[in-house]
Amino acid sequence: MRYMMIVKSTPETEAGAMPTEDELKAMGDYNEELVKSGVLLAGEGLHPSSEGFRTEIATGGGRTVVDGPFTEAKELIAGFWLLQVRSREEALEWAKRCPEPVEVRRVFEAEDFDMSEEEAAREAKLRDEVREAGGIA
């Protein structure tokens, strides 16, 4: 099972404040534990929304682009970890050890969907291509 642990933005992270030396050490220690245990698939911090953009579907079906910053920092994501664990309980244990408060969400797997054999084979092929390219699938 894959779970994403999400760190929410704060007014400080949205202002571009960088972590303190102590915060970086705590995060580095935690990341090291995740790597040594073999559960970490990915983990990254994100730049403030002022450096981002959103796409929206316009009337008539076209796309529009809206540049950041975006309001409601508490609803934005400042960073994440993607974990491969055996159970919800294991994900919960990792979340409890995290130096930051996190929201944890299970990632959908292909088997969670009612797909035709053809669509399942297509999905498997795409995941294999991503892995071969060095990505996570």
Extract the runs of DSSP E, i.e. beta strands, from the chain. 2-8, 40-45, 53-57, 63-67, 77-84, 103-106
Q: Is the pLDDT of residue 73 over 80?
A: no
- Coil, strand, or helix at residue 124? helix
Per-residue pLDDT at 72: 78
Provide the CB-side half-sphere exposure for 21 (13 A, CA): 0
- Return the amino acid letter for 135: G
Q: What is the mean pLDDT of the chain?
A: 93
Per-residue pLDDT at 102: 97
Give per-residue burial for 23-32: e unless 16+ CB within 10 Å, then b.
eeeebeebee
Give the global pTM: 0.86
The Cα-based distances of 106 to 51, 61, 112, 115, 119 in angstroms read 28, 31, 11, 19, 22
Q: Is the pLDDT of residue 137 over 80?
A: no
Q: Are 137 and 126 in contact (CB under 8 A)?
A: yes
Per-residue pLDDT at 120: 85
First to last CA, the chain: 12
Domains (ranges, CATH) in the chain?
Answer: 2-106 (3.30.70.1060), 113-137 (no CATH)
| pLDDT tens profile 20-72 | 999 999 999 999 999 999 999 999 999 999 999 999 998 888 999 999 999 87
